[in-house]
Amino acid sequence: MDFSFGPADTTFRQEARAWLAEHAGVQPPGWERELGRGGWIGIGWPEPAYGNRTATLTQQIVWAEEYARAAAPARTGHIGENLLAPTLLAHGTPEQKARFLPPIARGEELWCQGYSEPGAGSDLAGIRTTARRDGDTYRITGQKIWTSLAHDAHWCFVLARTEEGSRRHHGLSFLLVPMDQPGRIEVRPIRQMTGTSEFNEVFFDGARARAEHLVGGEGNGWQVAMSLLALERGVSTLAQQIGFASELEKVAALALSNGAAAADPAVRDRLIRQWSELKVMRWNALRTLGSSADAGAPSVAKLLWGRWHQRLGELAMAVQGAAATATPYDWNEAEPYRLDPLQHLFLFTRADTIYGGSDEIQRTIIAERVLGLPREVRVP
Average pLDDT over residues 339-349: 92
- Phi, psi of 185, rounded to the nearest 5 degrees: -130, 125
220: three-class secondary structure by DSSP: strand
pLDDT at 65: 84
Cα gap 351→356, rounded to integer Å: 10
- Residue 39 region, left (φ>0) first, then alpha (ψ -120 to 50), else beta? left
Q: What residue type is assigned to position 287 of the chain? A: R
The more confidently predicted of residues 232 and 326 is 326
1: three-class secondary structure by DSSP: coil
Each residue's pLDDT tens digit, 177-203:
999 999 999 999 988 888 888 889 999
198 belongs to the catalytic site: no
Say which range, 6-20, 152-166, 254-268, 362-376, has the weakest mean pLDDT. 362-376
Each residue's pLDDT tens digit, 103-153:
999 999 999 999 888 877 666 777 899 999 999 999 999 999 888 889 999
Decide if pLDDT at 88 tops 60.
Answer: yes
Decide if pLDDT at 102 tops 50.
Answer: yes
Each residue's pLDDT tens digit, 226-243:
776 655 555 667 778 888
pLDDT at 17: 95
Each residue's pLDDT tens digit, 268-304:
999 999 999 999 988 888 777 766 566 677 888 888 9
Choose among 309, 316, 313, 317: nearest CA to 346.
313
Residue 207 is inside which H or E element, if any? strand 199-210
Among residues 186, 232, 314, 368, which one is catalytic? 232
Name the band, by pLDDT with cuts 50, 70 and 90, for residue 336: confident
Using CB atoms within 10 Å of the CB of residue 183, give its burial: 0 to 12 exposed, 13 to 18 middle, 19+ buried.
exposed
